[in-house]
Chain A
Amino acid sequence: MKITINNNIFEAQENDTVLDVARRNDIYIPTLCYHVKTGQTAKCRACVVDVEGMRGMQTSCNLKVRDGMNVHTDTKEVQEAQKMVVDLMLASGYHNCLACERSGTCELQDACYHLGIEKSTYKDAPTGRKDESSEFIVIDFDKCIKCGRCVNICNNRVVNEVLGFGYRGKETEIMCDDDVAMGLSTCVQCGECVQICPTGALTDKKSRGKGRDAQFEKVDTTCPYCGTGCQLTLHVDKAKNKVVRVTGRDEWPNNGMLCVKGRYGFEFHASPKRLQYPLIKKNGKHEQATWDEALDLITEKIKTTVGKYGPDVFSALGSGRITNENNYAIQKFTRAVVKTNNIDHCARTCHAPTVAGLAHAFGSGAATNSVDEILETDLIFVIGSNMTEAHPVVSYYVKQAVKNGSRMIVCDPRRVDIAHWANLYVPLKVGTDVPFLNGLINEIIQNNWHNEAFMKNNTENPEDLKEWIKEYPVEKASEICGVPVEQMKQVAKLLGTAEKVSVIYCLGITEHTTGTDNVKTIANLQMVLGHLGKRGCGVNPLRGQNNVQGACDMGALPNVYHNYISVKDEKTKEKIEKHWGVSGLSLKEGYKLPTMLHKATTGDTKILFCVGDNTVQTEPNMAKTIQEVKALEFLVVIDIFENATTDFADVILPDVCFNEDFGTYSNLDRRVHLLRKAVNPPGEAKPTWWIMNELGKRLGVDLKFTSAEATWEDMRATGTIMGGITYERIQHKGLQWPCPTVTHPGTPILHTNGKFTRGKGLFSHTQYRSQAEMPDKEYPFVLSTGRRLWHYHTGTQTRNSIGLENIFPEELLEISPVDAARMHIKSGDMVKATSRRGEITVKAWVTERSPEGVVWCTFHFREAHANILTNDAYDNVTETPEYKACAIRIEKVSEGVETVSRGFRQARP
């Protein structure tokens, strides 16, 4: 259809608003409350226009076009009306741009500029009221125009449900919870309200006074925290070589949304504690060295040791934290130069069971569907995921879906915050996932809720499953997992009768001695229900680190090259040898991470390369890990900070971090994203690919790593599933593998039309095995571990950034009110937690999140570290440790003061 605006005719679509058409054609109409994300509210009335045949002025943001409509935006009347609205808005507070953070990006300032308003005709009414109580966000009430964008976005998009409008008339204002200071409210500081605010009412505290927006260079890149792979824009002060602000990019997977770490945890890159020069241990002390000295020493050591004992005494660790390119570089170096397959990385400690379990069942060990599809699902089944803390942006989508009518079941021994939004919360006992899920499958089949056609046509062994699943009647399962029979039946019915089910799980499933079995059982469940290969369905593991998917994709694994090409296949070996220009690649599968370390004590591992892996703190049973690391003959650590592992290193090499080089990350839905260089690295820090290239040269192999892109291209030449992904194609938007050719559009959903990567799906017979260390009289508590919203891993990034540490300064051991009352422990008291492997002294936090008999803490704090306690018992397939369950005892040490624990939802009765 066609409409006329200011006497010009424009093309318009059905459902367009007048504002849409005007914006498309560069006709300025001021808008203050309207935002594409928060929708039409027609509240501020700044967007009024005149439409022939309609009485009075019309708000263009919610006025649907009609064919032949004749609109005026530039008549004197319209301009006067718009001016009046904006003028009154100026008078509602105190809008002075002189020292305002938002100046230059302020939409109210823009409106005044376009309408020619120099100053308000009315009297200003400044109150001077500001809320500066929160760590990262400042509310300036005088600059608020009550547009309601922040209220909308807080409640409907990030669904943190904190902001609201309080009071009325002239006194109306934005309030947090029941009008408490933001710093004391349940606000989780995601900063989405700051990003959407049209004026200077909500601004970032960090960038205050650091400069005007226009003087910063904007660099689009990818978040270096969890596996969601959020797209962000760094606002960089080039002169100071520093990031000043971070904003979310309106691109998949995050659509502008970020969490507190992604938005405010960036200063680590400019920390004075960064490693800047190579260090060599001399007489027990690390001393600064030149790159030549350090690299020559490493070369010499490799030459002599490997020459004498063979290549298998060398082991290397890639990382889920570093780029694809750097992971590829370290695996190629290990395989092509040293000629061993002893390469592994930290997926071993988290999602290795996912890779193994899903590859076994489906043929591909990654998430089957995409993050955005969560919004289209009917039933979300969350098991073993504390997503509001570990994957906040994914949780926004889940909460949005629930808000829009999807149902959700949350299964977790702890009452994690996402349970607050669930239709059904199912507290099962720690480590009983297999019987729980098998009980559900049994109940589903008994009631004929399974998808018979899918099982018959698309799986290999449906009859076997139907037979052995009879071992798990729901009553028996209920007895093991502690969930009442009625509730199990309820869950089974919800699962069995839903139209689309998306299973989302995380480390609560994998970090058990039965990790791989747990994953296989989830795969069984979805194959029984037939919810695979369709939009809004699937098995969706939430990968923990920014690039742990990529580290797997790049072959930092002992059994596969990049793109999951098996090391045992003679033919592929030849192909890769030819491309790499080397010979004698090993056909023998390498050691897995725990084996590498274990073999140090027997003298079979002599050299270890750790790239971005704080091994000492991330492996279970720290005392044992330290012994193993000490037993190494030569330890090289490539990292950005000193940490517990560098203490033992013979050579430390300074790495670059996420914004100091180009590269790519693969996120949790297999999307490859680009990273861009924004600042220069500190001192002489170098990317891992450069280090590997230099070492290769010294050892007589040209690895062809001349830049990050060259490294990627080298991978791509033999890459199968990622062969079609080039830097050029992902400049603006990531691509999801499999993407075999440069014209392939990427694959958002795996296993479509019931065709699995391996052909037909495979059911696995899984059996209940109890956790390795059950609580007993001496050690009566089960300790489970995890991650907090405010911190990340061993804290190297979050504890070197400003603010996060202020919000959450120390470790807290979560304990149930029942246990606490029995032991006379209150929040803030110091307690000693002891396992068979060690002890820590830590502050207690009495919370209903913990069920009776279960306590919980994290591995973020070196001072009170969970891994001193955790059990080095492993999954028998993947050697993933059982971080989620070990036995400990607790004693009260002294009285103490409660730390404010903010941002947590109280359990609803």
Chain B
Amino acid sequence: MKFSEEKLKKVNEIIARYPDGKQKSALIPILHIAQEENNGWLDVTTMDHVAIMLNILPIEVYEVATFYSMFNLKPVGKHVFEVCRTGPCMLNGSDDIIQYIKDKLGINEGETTSDGLFTLKPAECLGACGYAPMMQLGKHYREHLTKEKVDLIIDECRRNAAKNN
């Protein structure tokens, strides 16, 4: 595990925000960066590396990484569908959306398609109840989801992947 130069600069910037001996405070933002750098998930080597950077125990990193659902502890696909399933979204049909994605991609919750493109990861409230049902894809929200919209999103992702290849 190694941070790119640009990211390392950012990491050091974050660490420097905290007084000596309190570097542990920088853990969550750094784990986010580490996850980005490591194909969207945290493996043990990455977490150990962060522990060393912050001079804390590896177990302290594992505790935080397992606590927050935003950190993935298993490899994930290129596109992670974080579909909200909390109250308002559920009332607006998130169950159906989740089921539709499952059927269409042939995966269960928490699983990744064999081509490594998609991961389905139900999420708790993402604070966008007015646009229910919704999901987070990368850094963007996709709102008022319908089956047709899901089809479009999937096609879009596939097209992007093909283009990048």
Contacts and interface: CB of A to CB of B under 8 A. Distances in A.
A175 B66 contact: yes
A908 B59 contact: no
Nearest to B52: A908
B58 A178 contact: yes
Interface in A154-170: 155, 161-168
Q: Which of B44, B47, B66, B67 has the most chain A CB within a 10 Å cutoff?
A: B66
Given A166-B62, A167-B66, A178 B47 contact: yes
A655 B59 CA distance: 46
Contacts of A162: 59
A422 to B, nearest CB: 14
Interface string B101-122: 0000000000000000000000
A177 interface: yes
Interface in B21-63: 44, 47, 52, 57-60, 62-63
Contacts of A168: 66-68
A56 interface: no
A166 B66 contact: yes
B62 A177 contact: yes
Interface in A23-75: none
B62 A909 contact: no
Interface string A255-281: 000000000000000000000000000
Given A168-B67, A908-B52, A909-B52, A161 B62 contact: no
A179 B62 contact: yes
Contacts of B47: 178
A164 B52 contact: no
B62 A155 contact: no
Nearest to A909: B52
Q: Size class of B's contact patch?
A: 10 to 19
A177 B66 contact: no
Given A908-B52, A909-B52, A179 B57 contact: no
Interface string B67-84: 110000100000000000
Q: Which of A162, A166, A167, A178 has the most chain B CB within a 10 Å cutoff?
A: A178
Contacts of B60: 164
Contact of B67 (A161, A167, A908): A167
Interface string A227-248: 0000000000000000000000
A876 to B, nearest CB: 45
A155 B63 CA distance: 13
Nearest to A908: B52
A177 to B, nearest CB: 7
Interface in A139-187: 155, 161-168, 175, 177-179
Contact of A166 (B44, B52, B63): B63
Contacts of A165: 63
A806 B20 CA distance: 45
B81 to A, nearest CB: 22
Nearest to A167: B66
A168 B124 CA distance: 14
A168 B59 CA distance: 15
Contacts of A161: 57-59
Nearest to B49: A909
A908 B52 CA distance: 8
B45 to A, nearest CB: 10
B62 A164 contact: yes
A168 B69 CA distance: 9
Contacts of B62: 164, 166, 175, 177-179
A180 to B, nearest CB: 9
Q: Which of B44, B47, B58, B68 has the most chain A CB within a 10 Å cutoff?
A: B58
Contacts of B58: 161, 177-178
Contacts of B59: 155, 161-164, 177
A521 to B, nearest CB: 34
Interface in A865-909: 908-909
A179 B66 CA distance: 9
Contact of B57 (A155, A166, A167, A175): A155
B44 A178 contact: yes
Interface in A642-701: none
B134 to A, nearest CB: 23
Interface in A754-787: none
A178 B66 CA distance: 9
Nearest to A159: B57
Contacts of B66: 166-168, 175, 179
A409 B56 CA distance: 19
A181 B9 CA distance: 36
A184 to B, nearest CB: 12
A178 B48 CA distance: 10
Nearest to B47: A178
A177 B73 CA distance: 13
B164 to A, nearest CB: 32
A551 to B, nearest CB: 40
Contacts of B63: 164-166
Nearest to B51: A908
A161 B60 CA distance: 9
Contacts of A166: 62-63, 66-67
A175 B47 CA distance: 15
B26 to A, nearest CB: 19
A909 B49 CA distance: 9
A168 B62 CA distance: 12
Contacts of A163: 59
Interface in A162-219: 162-168, 175, 177-179
A359 to B, nearest CB: 42
B54 to A, nearest CB: 13
A178 B59 CA distance: 7
Contacts of A178: 44, 47, 58, 62, 73
B110 to A, nearest CB: 13
Interface in A78-96: none
A487 B60 CA distance: 31
Nearest to A186: B58
A177 B58 CA distance: 8
Contacts of A167: 66-67
A549 B74 CA distance: 53
A309 B44 CA distance: 70
A739 B54 CA distance: 49
Nearest to A164: B59
Q: Which of B52, B57, B68 has the most chain A CB within a 10 Å cutoff?
A: B57
A697 B62 CA distance: 68
B56 to A, nearest CB: 10
Interface string B123-147: 0000000000000000000000000
A165 to B, nearest CB: 5
Contacts of B73: 178-179
A165 B60 CA distance: 9
A679 B63 CA distance: 45
Given A162-B59, A164-B62, A177-B62, 9 more contacts: A155-B57, A161-B58, A163-B59, A167-B66, A168-B66, A168-B68, A177-B58, A178-B44, A179-B62
11 contacts: A161-B57, A161-B58, A164-B63, A165-B63, A167-B67, A168-B66, A168-B67, A168-B68, A177-B59, A179-B62, A909-B52
Interface of B: 44, 47, 52, 57-60, 62-63, 66-68, 73
Among all A-B residue pairs, the 8 with the closest Cβ atoms: A164-B59, A166-B66, A168-B67, A164-B63, A178-B62, A167-B66, A178-B44, A161-B57
